[in-house]
Amino acid sequence: MSTTRITVFDYGAGNMHSLVKTLNAGDGVHVRLETDPVAALDTDALVLPGVGAFSNAASRLASGRAQMRDAILDGLPTLCICLGMQLLFDDSEEGEGVGLGVIPGHVRRLRARRIPQIGWNEVESLDESLPAVAYFANSYVCEPDSDDCIVAYTTHERDRFASGVTVANTTGVQFHPEKSSEAGVRFVHEFVEGVIR
């Protein structure tokens, strides 16, 4: 039985134990953390996790930005969570640095009184695999130049924003599926199963 390699690109921002545990979905799956953005591409699937600040993460991926962008656009299966989804875009109001530019657009601050948004919220999804309710922890949201990539929306107070996007063989979600109970874990497992197939 061959082993499916899943690489989590580590920005050096904190504990990703729950994400790695969720990705280890069964026999034949090997999950590793990698701090080098080019080395991270030697994999069957890539995960950009949701821990950290945009400027620090953009700095960490800068040396392999072009290679990672090309790999994603060439179809490398990729799951991008929270900050990881934001890194698919050009830049962010959160701080300096250049994103991957896979999806044209920007990351902006939530337009709400209560920031950050922390807790459960509804996901208006066009994709059946996404949970209907998920756990969020974010102050910033993505604003694509075109709606074509959007597969889900969420509203915090009166601010409706993209909470799910797809491009090539990549899915980005603004919520944390690994913290979103059974439906979120199932979503991650479906991603892993899709890579194995």
pLDDT score at 28? 87
The amino acid occupying position 98 is V
Residue 95 token pair: 């701080």
Catalytic member of 80, 149, 156, 176: 176
The dihedrals phi and psi of 47, each to the nearest 5 degrees, come to -125, 125
The domain in which residue 154 lies consists of 4-196
Distance of alpha carbon 155 from alpha carbon 177, whole angstroms = 17
pLDDT score at 122? 98
Catalytic member of 30, 80, 82, 124: 82
Catalytic member of 142, 149, 156, 178: 178
Q: What's the domain count of the chain? A: 1
Mean pLDDT (the chain, rounded) = 94
The answer to whether residue 193 is catalytic is: no
The answer to whether 191 and 2 have CB atoms below 8 angstroms apart is no
> Which residue in the block uniquely carries the two structure tokens 């920031």?
115
pLDDT score at 126? 84
pLDDT score at 31? 95
The reported pTM is 0.96
What CATH code is carried by the domain that includes residue 91?
Answer: 3.40.50.880
The answer to whether residue 178 is catalytic is: yes
Task: List the beta strands (DSSP E) in 58-158.
Answer: 78-81, 91-92, 105-109, 117-122, 124-125, 133-138, 140-144, 150-156
The answer to whether residue 17 is catalytic is: no
The amino acid occupying position 6 is I
pLDDT score at 1? 56
Distance of alpha carbon 173 from alpha carbon 81, whole angstroms = 5
Which portions of the chain are predicted below pLDDT 70? 1, 14
Q: Is 117 exposed, middle or buried (0-12, 13-18, 19+ CB in 10 A)?
A: buried
